[in-house]
Amino acid sequence: MRFGIDRLLADPALRAPLAGRRVALLAHPASVTADLTHSLDALAACPDIKLTAAFGPQHGLRGDKQDNMVESPDFADPVHGIPIFSLYGEVRRPTDASMETFDVLLVDLQDLGCRIYTFITTLLYVLEAAAKHGKAVWVLDRPNPAGRPIEGLTLRPGWESFVGAGPMPMRHGMTLGELGWWFIRTFSLDVEYRVIEMEGWAPAAAPGYGWPLGERVWVNPSPNAPNLFMARAYAGTVMLEGTTLSEGRGTTRPLELFGAPDIDARAVIAEMRSLAPGWLDGCTLRDCWFEPTFHKHVGQLCAGVMIHTEGPAYDHDAFRPWRLQSLAFKAIRRLQPDYPLWRDFPYEYELGKLAIDVINGGPLLREWVDDPAATPADLDALTLPDEAAWAEARAPFLLY
């Protein structure tokens, strides 16, 4: 298969509309061609593209910022001599001055297929800026490694944030190019927009189910996104960022496991199986031990649960990471009713709101966990209508 960047570089006809126009690139470390040349270098070497600027999202164009809420500065590229503007530093949206450096913005970002992953919010912000300034946006499309499944509550009105661009569920099942069309329609944007589509993407096909395993190398799109299996689990494990539990930052398998020094991992797994065994389908859970070298519980031995999606037991259609992680919270709450589960800090600069609520686009998930009488069926009753509505809403925008 071929990604959008590779098709653009290989086909002069696709590049023809760029003739005489100044081109900028929005990219990160995973923005590479099939031979692992970074897209910035590949476009700069293309004689019929006039590259005048570049932009970096959260974690930076170079991906050098390890943790969340660590800002990146603007800088001048030492190789190509163009300005690099940070969209996760002093600003989250492109400035008027930066918008004047180009005519067409090429967006080449590897996404993870989860609402909270901030690259999709950055896409919305650049589309809004392009509409204001009369600029064009082209998405060089890439796979959604989590594939097409839909899961999670829809973000509620008033809960929009940098980790919640709009009314979609946690696991949206779209590519960045498709989401661009949805943003344009949902937010009534008047902007010149084009998607350079992939060729041969088969999101229902084994073994990758969204990612072309064996065909393309995985490059971390952010520092703690080390492999496909993290991408599969991420729509659930990202919620750990709003808790006191470790999400495995400071280990070699971040966001594939969770734990803390003061939980009983085996008891948690047993309680999960007792509450909703069907929510554990499609993966294998294993109790484990780990000691983070940085971040939460640094230097402390944690009892943990590892979520395995890389073995023969993996069932792409059955695996529901958001429900699985929600069930883990519920199990801990039942086993230890007074456990200080929810982390209280200004997550992504949102003040006066609990991080878990910002992550979920509202308080419903937390309220379900904390209600002793609430059952898995109650959470399904909230979530299934949202998932069905999203399947219908996204259908007109699917390109593959």
pLDDT of residue 137: 98
The Cα–Cα gap between 152 and 146 comes to 14
Give me the architecture of the 228-372 domain, per CATH. Answer: Alpha-Beta Complex (3.90)
Peptide bond into 223 cis (omega under 30): no
Give the pLDDT confidence score for residue 143 in this predicted structure: 98
208 phi/psi in degrees, rounded to 5: -85, -30
Residue range(s) of every CATH 3.40.50.12170 domain in the chain:
4-222+392-397
pLDDT, tens only, 161-200: 999 999 999 999 999 999 999 999 999 999 999 999 999 9
Strand partners, 54: 25, 84
Find the radius of gyration of the CA atoms of the chain.
21
Q: Are the beta carbons of 196 and 108 closer than 8 angstroms?
A: no
CATH of the domain spanning 4-222+392-397, picked from 3.40.50.1370, 3.30.1330.10, 3.90.870.30, 3.40.50.12170: 3.40.50.12170
Q: What is the pLDDT of residues 99-148, one digit of tens each?
A: 999 999 999 999 999 999 999 999 999 999 999 999 999 999 999 999 99
CA-to-CA distance for 231 and 112, rounded, in angstroms? 6
- In three-state secondary structure terms, 117 is coil
> Is the CB of residue 230 less than 8 Å from the CB of residue 253?
yes
Say what the pLDDT of residue 71 is. 60
Confidence at residue 346, expressed as pLDDT on a 0 to 100 scale = 85
The tokens describing 386, both together, are 């949202």
Residues of the chain with pLDDT under 50: none
Q: What is the pLDDT of residue 349?
A: 79
Q: How high is the pLDDT of residue 350?
A: 85
DSSP letters for 345-359: S-GGG-TTS-HHHHH
Q: Are 210 and 143 in contact (CB under 8 A)?
A: yes
Q: What is the dihedral of CA 67, 69, 70, 76, to 10 degrees?
A: 120
Q: CATH 3.90.1150.140 in the chain, residues?
A: 228-372
Its pTM stands at 0.95
- Alpha carbons 115 and 318: distance in angstroms, whole number: 20
